Amino acid sequence: MEPNAIPSDHFTEQERQRLRRLLDEDDIRKLAIAYAHSLDQGDLAPLRDILTDDICCHFGPYGEWQGLNSVIQNFEQVFLDLGGVPFTSMHAGSGHCIHFLDANNATGRRQLMDFMTTRPPKDNPVMWLALYDEAYQRTDNGWRISSISVEFLWPERHISAEFSNKKLPSS
């Protein structure tokens, strides 16, 4: 393309597919952000628009949770156990990699740094360093998280048997 040339308003099929994938990735990343904010605020109602009804969660020392209502009830108890005050815990996520299995299903991995904001400044605020391994499903209402497995790495190691052999797929 010439230095001053104006790009065409028409996209190639390859560019349209790339744009669709970027839009889908953005929607999935927004789910992860909304999930963390919902947990940290203790406002769990938005989880109904983030998770599938048949969500399966593997949370290491916190157990295995099945189904949306069960997940919300368990998170309500965790929130109360942490004092019932918003932002006592802060789930900071990064490094979100997404791999599409097909047009309606994807998997992803993201890093978690879970901070406790009630600890004194002299104490380490890090509660957990972990990885989220997730599955995402496109529904009639947009993308939803259909499976969450958290592999806890520090300060205690709680990892599933599958984790040691699990590699992040390349897209």
Residue 9's pLDDT band (cuts 50, 70, 90): confident
Residue 149 pLDDT = 96
- Domains, the chain, ranges and CATH? 14-81+89-162 (3.10.450.50)
Report strand pairing: 89-102 vs 105-116: antiparallel
Handedness of CA 73, 142, 170, 90 (dihedral sign): negative
Decide if pLDDT at 11 tops 90.
Answer: no
Q: Which of 72, 86, 153, 146 is nearest to 117 (CA)?
A: 86
Residue 165 pLDDT = 67
Helix residue ranges, H only, 63-138: 68-81
pLDDT tens string 27-76? 999 999 999 999 999 999 999 999 999 999 999 999 999 999 999 999 99
Residue 10 pLDDT = 83
CB 105 within 8 A of CB 137: yes
Q: 131 is written with which tokens?
A: 């990885």
pLDDT tens string 109-166? 999 999 999 999 999 999 999 999 999 999 999 999 999 999 999 999 999 888 866 6
CA 87 to centroid of chain Cα atoms: 18
Which segments of 87-160 are extended strands (E)? Answer: 89-102, 105-116, 126-139, 142-154
Residue 1's pLDDT band (cuts 50, 70, 90): low
Q: Which of 167, 169, 155 is nearest to 60 (CA)?
A: 155
Q: How deeply is 82 buried, as exposed, middle or buried, from its count of CB atoms within 10 A (0-12, 13-18, 19+)?
A: middle
